[in-house]
Amino acid sequence: MAASVTAPLMERSDELRNVLDERPGAETPGEEWVMAKLVDRTRALEEQLIQLARENLKLRELAHHDALTGLNNLRGFRTQLAQAISLANRHGGSVSVLMIDLDGMKHLNDTQGHPAGDIGLRGVGGILNSSVRRSDMAARLGGDEFGVLMPQTQMRSAKEVAERIRARVEELPIPGNCRLSASIGIATYRAIPGRDADEAAEELLARADEALYAAKNRGRNRVEVHADGELEAA
C-alpha cells in the first residue's frame, strides 16, 4: 500500500524525492511519515516566501525614501504628486506644493563639518514630518532641498503651513551655534478634468521652483507664492 502511494509522487516531485532521501534506514516509508515531512517542507518554504516578501517590501521602501532623514525621496514625491493631481482632476479640489531650500547649509558644512550638516538635515526632516497632516507628504528632493505635497489644499492653507515651517527651521538648534533658515516657494494646482496628471505635475513643480527662486533672490528666509502666473510674497 505504501509503495503504491509513494511511487507516483516520486515521479512527479523533486521535493518528494528529497524527502524520501531522509527516510529512516532503507525501509520504504509509510504514508504518514511522508506527509509529515512534506508538511514540514511546505511550512519552511512558506516562511522563506514571507521573508522574501518582507525583503522586497523593504527594497521598495528604500527606493522611495531618503536614508538620512527618513522622508520620501524625489522619486516617491513625483509619483505621489501625479496621483494626487489625478484624483483632484476626477473629484475636484486643489493640490499645493511647497519647495523648500535651506539657507546656510554650505556655511554649516564648511565651518562645522558634514556631520553637523547631517544633524541639520535630520532636524529639518523632523520639522516637516511634524508640521504636515497624515494626508500630506514631506520629501527630501536632494541635497538641502525639500518638498511638501499637500493634496486637497488651497493656497491660503499652504501659506500657513509654509510660514510655520519657516519659523521652526529658524529656531532649529545646530552645533556650533549656527543657524539655518528656509526659503520656500508655493504653487497650487486647481483641478482640470481630463488634464494629463504627469504634465500638470511637472508644470506645478516648475511654478513652485520659480517661487522658491524668488524667495532666494528677495532676501532668503521668506515665503513666496506663485498665484495665477504672478509671484507675490506670502
Task: Write the Ramachandran bin of 91: left for phi over 0, alpha for psi from -120 to 50, otherwise beta.
Answer: alpha
CA-CA distance, 212 to 218, in Å (whole number)? 10
What 3-state DSSP class applies to 28?
A: coil
Place of cell 486637497: 152
Active site residue 144: yes
Longest dimension (CA), the chain: 90
Q: Contact 72/65 with Cβ under 8 angstroms?
A: yes
Look-up: residue for cell 515651517?
165
Name the H helices within the chain.
2-12, 14-21, 31-63, 74-91, 105-112, 114-131, 155-170, 197-217
Output the CA torsion 9→10→13→19 (10° steps).
Answer: 100
Angle subtended at Cα 231 by Cα 230 and Cα 234, rounded to the nearest 5 degrees? 125
Q: What sign for the dihedral angle of Cα 205, 209, 210, 215?
A: positive
* Catalytic residue from among 103, 136, 144, 209: 144
Q: Which residues are catalytic?
A: 144
